[in-house]
Structure 1
Amino acid sequence: MGYMKRKEPDVEKQKEPILEHVKSALLKRYRLNFTKQDVSLWFLCKQEASLLKITNHACQRFNEAEDYGKRKEPDVDKKKEPILEHVMPALVNRYHLNCTKQDVSSLWFLCKQEASLLNITNHAHQLSNEVKVYLLEGTDDLEGFVVKGYGESISYKMRLPLLKDGVQLMKDAIIAKEENYPDGTYEKARLPFANAETLVHFTCLLGLFLEGSDFEKIQQEEPLDLPLMPPQKRNWKGGLVAPFASNNMLVLQQCPGKTGDNWISQGQNSSYFVQVLHNEAPVSMPEAPLLNLTNKSCHFSRKLRY
């Protein structure tokens, strides 16, 4: 490391003619007063290229996932019909309207749009009683689970490049830490931004919000049981999985390497483990139990695998 630090000024000096040349080209093209340091932001272009490569890889599978969603929609609608049938008489009695199942579905959709766009939330509960509103929410959870979530592995496998990219970043950080790289010479965080569907897929790729032995089933690509309908308790709830401004974080933790039943020794001075946070809250992973930081200890039984 001492050699690298000594050589850095020489390397920077050798890069200057190239940066000067590129700076002039950028000045002519964009009429901006770039400095050599601005040109060094080429690093960001490389990051963008990396992310675009990931995105293109995912797009190769996107059409397959979209086709699957279209194929499953009739099946999902059929499974939703008993709930809509159950809610429909309440609307007929309350508003004296000759509602159909499609009308119930449309009214529920409008209530959700009103809540999300105008922050008016009371009309949904006026649609029917609280129990039936929860049932309608259950139909949304059912659709999200089948079409966007765990219904078919292609839906979340398309996000595998994102996970691999994150794991590689953590591997690089471990090397940098072990070899005492100076701050600023390696990435400490990467913050990709995406839409809600990508977040749902990534959440499923991590195996979150599953029931019982479901994780073993998805490893074998076996079909999962559908989420339970209200009032039964269930882990999969769309409002919890992907609310507004939802996010996932993979946090690399460095824990003291000790021997004993409750500690994992890697043959080094420290061990590294991954903690998963969903909407800033720690959550358990099927193959990587949650870090126990309540007493500033690090108790982990397995490392993250993918």
Structure 2
Amino acid sequence: MNFETQDRIISWVADPSKPRFVPPLGAVDAHCHVFGPMAQFPFSAKAKYLPGDAGPDMLFALRDRLGFTRNVIVQASCHGTDNAATLHAIAKSNGKARGVAVVEPSVTDAELERLHEGGIRGVRFNFLKRLVDDAPKDKFLEIARRIQQLGWHVVVYFEADILMELRPFLDAIPTLIVVDHMGRPNVAQGPDGDEMRAFRSLLDSRDDIWFKASCPDRLDAKGPPWDDFATAVAPLIADYPDRALWGTDWPHPNMQDATPDDGALVDMIPSIAPTLSLQRKLLVTNPMRLYWAKEAV
């Protein structure tokens, strides 16, 4: 990719609305990213997109505007396996952020320990072909075995059409698993559609598979207020309330043609978690158990 000639992509709303929904005290945005700043943290030569700078100051200002307390920063694919930007953001958070890294199969134990000290609590395996060129399952499993001793979990990102193909791989992962955006099911099919039923089958196969009930902007083609997403996802949270997480996905990689309003994303939380109990589990109890275990109550 020629970074000198490609236009920088802006995929977020500069002035998101202030949500009407007030998250419970201690709420965690459990899926977000940082981009650069590029001058300080260059993007990977293998990056499939070149975003504008969206650093920690912007992220934490958004966190405060939306009424959240903490963030889980997931390594963005544009930074490859150089986790410096993510670690930098965590360090600037004053203990209010944790992270999920992307690492090379050759990563040393010393580097894993360094990442842990820097606030990393998981590793991400990405199977979206438009974002990564190679996803070696055998090497991923070796990484999963190595991070067990750190108490980390595995985050997996895939699309629904390869779920059955991935089942043997997922079954072999020895750690807790978190599935990004529920494996991107077709929410237009409703809660009983083939893809949602296949995802439920995965959840039923192990009690240590969690999911992020996130990204209506990616999954609901009808757009705001994302009613198809709410209809399909609310029963999932109701049935698996102790394994659900939520996140903004800010700064919404590659969503420049359908940039969501983060305030509107927050305002739809009651549509998928209608009770105070479900909201607290989704936004506080579950992410705290996973990322701030010593502080969880």
In the superposition, the TM-score normalised over structure 2's length comes to 0.24
Larger helix fraction of residues: 1
Larger strand fraction of residues: 2
Greater length-normalized contact order (CA 8 Å, ≥ 6 residues apart): 2
In the superposition, the TM-score normalised over structure 1's length comes to 0.23
Which structure has the greater CA radius of gyration?
1
